[in-house]
A and B are shown apart, each in its own frame.
Chain A
Amino acid sequence: MRSRRSIPVAALAVAALTLAGCGLGSGEDTSAGSQPTVDANAKVTGEVSFQTWALKPKFTSYVEGVIKAFETKYPGTKVTWLDQPGDGYDKKVLSQASAGQLPDVTNLPPEFALPLAKQSLLLDVAAADPAVTTDYVEGGLTAYQYQGLTGTFGYPWYLNTDIDYWNSTKFAAVGLDAKNPPKTFDELLAAAKIMHDKSGGKEYLMSRLPGIGDFTNAGVKIVSDDGKKFTFNTPEAVALLDKYRAAYQAGYLPRDILTQEYLGNSKLFTQGKVAWTTGGGNAIVDFQKDNPSLKGKVVPSPALDTPPLYVQGLSVSSKSKNQAAAIALARFVTNAENQAAFAKIVNIFPSTKASANDPYFSKSDGTPESDAKVLAFESLAKAKSLQPAVISGATNDFINQQISLAIAGKVSSQQALDAAVAKADQLLAQ
């Protein structure tokens, strides 16, 4: 999956709305999303716009094929396809939303869809098309259902998860076996110690600071049931943070990771500086493309504990002038047949229940790439969204800052987590 965090080149900010643009005090009803005004069985015809995120030019022929099939199936329809560049997508969608110009059907990850749904800018697709709730896997659907809002605000599209990747050469050098890698966090710590001790402190296994996902995995409850308070400053979370802290102080992790960016661990893995990273089913292809010398040295294994679930979906604008065609298009693009075809050209996975039995995803041809795909597919069954959608970018930043402060040894784990919860609550209340 692509990084959510890109490096802005200049000090350009995310967005303010002018008063002219949106008006203050327009926060009328935010209790529910928009109900569709047309019956989903209405005649599907006319023009409809469709926005994807960074699929051109690699998947141009795939997307065009799907669009053509749609136009053939529903004569009289015309789809305008827009593909937005990878960087700055949030800002682009934001400017579209604030100008009231969201395309009819838009690819939105769940955390983009939430604020738009809150402002009644997205349709509850389940109300228009009850089949949504039966055709798609639960993890995909729940990603588009939010605390405090009634409805499902997107058709789940493709799914992905993370698995572990190990550098077998580095494992062998310290007498470890990459074919039998650590399976729990404690085994990981033990292996990190061996890696450190046997290499005289020259090699590292781990290179990632813990985050909200790791707390979820350790059984920590992140948000209260009513979604109004953060609750992750528990003894379990403190204990986990203490373990990382001790490992960092003992030199088992590179010192500079305190200021590594989000995807720093996979970068260090590619550079051959560390022996472990996590990544999607497709990540192995990238490691080997960037550094071909890694070929044959990367061994995948299932993620420790519960794997994270990443969901992409197609949402329908509530301001769409052609809701019938928009809903039909979103459903068509995400149907089992089209998703399966998509998943066969890149390592992602369909969100439709019907695809679960496709042997393509569960049989490996023996290559590490294919192994990674099968592992990721098997992991999907138990994958869960580990990071609640209410955690905004700013909140996430503050939490990470406090975690790295604790790991650096400047404050205790308890102090850091208390501070992070206080700040997160404050931001949530705003």
Chain B
Amino acid sequence: MRYHRWFSPWVLVVPALAWLLVFNLWPSINTVILSFTNAKPIGGGTFVGLKNFEALLHDEQLRYALLNSVIYMIVCLPFLTIVPLGLAVLVEKKLPGITFFRTAFYTPVVASAVVVALIWQWILDDRGLVNGMAEKLGVISGPLPFLSDQWLLLFSAISLTIWKGLGYYMIIYLAALGNVGRELHEAAAVDGASAFRRFTNITIPGVRGTMILIAILISVSALRVFSELFILSGGNGGPGGRDSSVVMLIQQYSQGFEGNLGYASALSIVLFFVTVVPMLALARLNKKAADA
């Protein structure tokens, strides 16, 4: 038997669903249609069949971009699922001044891109903080090209993403931690369990649902990375565009009055299918863990 009338859930869901359809789904359908055209931002276009998708196959830059995005995801995923949780545990306890710390940890999320670029260039350039310190310590003989080497630039951007993500995922965890029964912690503490064991045996299982959601968010946003690579590569994807991401390519093709919206839309669709894979995998993992 049911404990609610059939329409009750729908009444609750309909507003959100309506927004989803009008502001997300409909424009996306539009993107699908555009991908079969040679449309420009003004003046429309004509249907060109699969031409854009054929061109994708020969796009060398897309291969670099996809590789970069996947590396991005693989590195970000473990870091950003675990470290912000640790951070949340750290700021969870009420200590004098804790509000200040919580707020300060969140500031990178809202910092302006221009300032972030400035600071990170100071840290990473040939005569920057990191190279300067490493040279003083004698770890390296010459400065490392953090901002001009294809791979080092990619990893610099990844560290920037992780740095920005700490505060963001921290507060999602913080709210979720509120739901973990503290009795368990207390009981375990009385039983003499170490802080680390309490973390792995109580905290992590307690926020498992949130963790999966966060993992989904991280992989989606890592695959769709834009601003960090854009900032550090001077807006140009680095030498040969080898440090581009898929979203940077989309931006590049669609920019301005003469943008190629057809090709940009085709790229969007590729990106959609690429992002669906880890999302489905994680959602499945969630279901399995839940059923177990």
Contact = CB atoms under 8 A, between A and B. Distances in A.
- A touches B (Cβ under 8 A): yes
Interface of A: 5, 7-11, 13-19, 22-27, 30, 90, 94, 97-98, 112, 114-116, 118-119, 121, 254-256, 258-262, 264, 392-394, 397-398, 400-402, 404-405, 407-408, 410-411, 427, 430
Interface residues of B, number: 61
Given A25-B46, A256-B148, A397-B236, A392 B258 contact: yes
Contact of A90 (B33, B37, B47, B256): B256
Interface stretch (B178-186, B259-267, B273-281): B259-267
B207 interface: no
Contacts of B224: 11
Interface string B97-116: 00000000000000011100
A98 B44 CA distance: 10
B42 A121 contact: yes
Nearest to B225: A11
Given A256-B148, A405-B239, A17 B255 contact: no
Given A11-B224, A427-B260, A116 B42 contact: yes
B38 interface: yes
Nearest to A258: B148
25 contacts: A7-B235, A10-B226, A10-B227, A11-B251, A14-B255, A16-B27, A16-B31, A17-B261, A24-B47, A30-B43, A90-B255, A97-B257, A115-B256, A255-B148, A259-B148, A259-B243, A264-B234, A393-B256, A393-B258, A397-B236, A401-B236, A401-B237, A405-B239, A405-B240, A411-B240
B49 interface: no
A27 B46 contact: yes
Given A90-B257, A116-B257, A259-B232, A24 B45 contact: yes
Contact of B113 (A9, A115, A255): A9
A15 B251 CA distance: 9
A8 B227 contact: yes
B257 A98 contact: no
B44 A404 contact: no
B266 to A, nearest CB: 12
Contacts of A116: 42, 257
Given A10-B226, A14-B255, 18 more contacts: A11-B224, A11-B251, A13-B254, A16-B34, A16-B264, A115-B257, A121-B42, A256-B145, A256-B148, A258-B148, A258-B239, A259-B239, A394-B258, A394-B259, A401-B236, A404-B238, A404-B240, A430-B38
B227 A9 contact: yes
**CB-based closest 5 A-B pairs:** A115-B257, A405-B240, A11-B226, A401-B241, A26-B44
Q: Among A18, A116, A258, A402, find the residue whose CB has the most chain B CB atoms closer than 10 A.
A: A258
Contacts of B39: 16-17, 24
A14 B259 CA distance: 8
A45 B24 CA distance: 45
Q: Among B34, B226, B257, B261, find the residue whose CB has the most chain A CB atoms closer than 10 A.
A: B257
B46 A259 contact: no
B135 interface: no
Contacts of B117: 7
